[in-house]
Chains A and B, each alone.
Chain A
Amino acid sequence: MEHNEPQVTLLIAAYNEAECICAKAVNTLELDYPHDKCDILFVTDGSSDGTEKLLREFMHDPRIRVLHDAERRGKLAAVERGMKYVPSPIVILTDANTLLNKDAIRNIVRHYADPNVGAVAGEKRIRKDLQKDGNGAGEGLYWKYESALKRLDSELHSVVGAAGELFSFRKELYRAVPADSIIEDFHLSMCIAADGYRVIYEPDAFAEEEPSASFSEEMKRKIRICAGGFQSIVRLRSLLNIKRYGILSFQYISHRVLRWAVTPFLLPVLFILNAVLALDGNLFYQVTFAGQITFYASALIGFLLEKFNRRSRLFIAPLYFTLMNIAAYAGLIRYLRGTQSAVWEKAQRKK
């Protein structure tokens, strides 16, 4: 493989994305990468809003190919189908509702010069022009912290899970993820890491998308991720074996397992314990309990303001944190009941 500019395929699964597919096609065609080394493959399975027809207008460019089937089988099946048509050793998955920065491909592929690198995760960014109000700010703040952790995870050994907005991997390492996987990009990236390859985080390759239209939309997305998180913890339970996977297990448990499956359930226990200890008259516990009350009251105020479409940055962080943890409960219920669909469930985005 030529390391500087290997052949790559951008694989984009798009379901009813007529509103943004033209912008996506233009964006991919404008990426800075040699035309003869880049294929662009759209899979529009199940789309009924003319996504496929809009894309056909771009097919004068030989780089673009479109696969379309009337039946909707979900993103995973679309990616699976698209993989059969990928001719290159490097695949880049990107969502149809995101726009990539011009150097994204170059910044991703340079990591493949290292044979130990099996995958590269790009960064998800929230569009700044739509981030002025509370929700955008909350989501953006979360991703900033998450990005910092990913950067450190990547530098130490490997990122623990990649977001599907922009995720690249060596084609030879692709393996069919179970059809009912809820967060397939996470599952695939962890399988590659479990095989002993590094999954690198590249913040200079980013996919920009609009923030969720509302907290209820954001909740929908979070619940899906949490349900998928529980599913992944069960399916990838071998990764909990720190003797076998060493540093990867440490990162996986610390960054994912605790956050998805442990702390959300400890928070209410801590609240009750703190209340009992505060009632006993100890000043320290009274102060910490007052802190907890203030925090959750801020979240409640933030929620009420959201209900009346009046957002304040002050209350967004507590609200966002609380919703994230509530989503874990809903996610667990959905996972246990098996009601979380693996088929596309698009969150509405801000226009």
Chain B
Amino acid sequence: MIMDFLELMFVLFSAVVLYTYVGYGIILWFMVKLKQFRERTI
């Protein structure tokens, strides 16, 4: 039970760290591409 909890915390915290240093850049890139696509199609 405790190990499950620790595992959950590990996954959650890893996700936050990865999002901060890598994920945000990737999401941002996709959002910019989507914005550019929308602007081209309007």
B-binding residues in A (CB < 8 A): 145, 148-149, 152-153, 155-156, 251, 254-255, 258-259, 262-263, 266-267, 269-270, 273-274, 276-277, 280, 285
Kindly list 13 other residue pairs between chains A and B, CB separation below 8 angstroms, not including A258-B20, A274-B10.
Answer: A148-B25, A149-B24, A152-B29, A254-B19, A258-B16, A259-B21, A262-B16, A263-B17, A270-B14, A273-B9, A277-B6, A277-B10, A285-B10
Identify which of A153, A266, A276 contacts B17 (C-beta below 8 A).
A266
Tell me the complex Cα distance, A178–B2, Å: 47
A156–B3 touching, CB < 8 Å: no
Near A by CB (< 8 A), chain B positions 16-38 give 16-17, 19-21, 24-25, 27-29, 31-32, 35-36
Once A and B bind, how many residue pairs between them come within 8 Å at the CB atom? 58
Partner of A259, one of B10, B20, B27: B20
Main secondary structure of the interface of B (DSSP, over half): helix
Question: How far in angstroms is the closest Cβ of chain B from A298?
Answer: 16
Chain A residue contacts of B9, Cβ below 8 A = 269, 273
Q: Which chain B residues have a beta carbon within 8 Å of chain A's beta carbons?
A: 3, 6-7, 9-10, 13-14, 16-17, 19-21, 24-25, 27-29, 31-32, 35-36
Task: Find out whether the CB atom of B3 lies under 8 angstroms from the CB atom of A254.
Answer: no
Contact residues in A for B35 (Cβ distance below 8 Å): 155-156
Whether the Cβ atoms of A263 and B25 lie closer than 8 Å is: no
Residues of A within 8 A of B32 (CB): 152, 155-156
Q: How far is the CB of B19 from chain A (nearest CB, A)?
A: 7
Our pick among A262, A269, A273, A276 for the contact of B20 (Cβ within 8 Å) is: A262
Q: B39 → chain A, closest Cβ, in Å?
A: 11
- Chain A residues with Cβ under 8 A from B7's Cβ? 277
Given contacts A254-B19, A276-B6, contact A153 B28 (CB under 8 A): yes
B28 with A263: CB separation less than 8 A: no
What A residues does B20 contact at CB under 8 A? 254, 258-259, 262-263
14 CB < 8 A contacts A-B:
A148-B25, A152-B28, A156-B31, A251-B28, A254-B19, A258-B20, A258-B24, A262-B16, A270-B10, A270-B13, A273-B9, A273-B13, A277-B6, A280-B3
Q: How far is the CA of A24 from the CA of B24 in the complex (A)?
A: 37
- In the docked arrangement, what's the CA distance between A277 and B9, Å? 11
Q: Are B13 and A277 in contact (CB under 8 A)?
A: no
Known: A152-B29, A152-B32, A255-B24. Is A263-B6 also a contact (CB below 8 A)? Answer: no
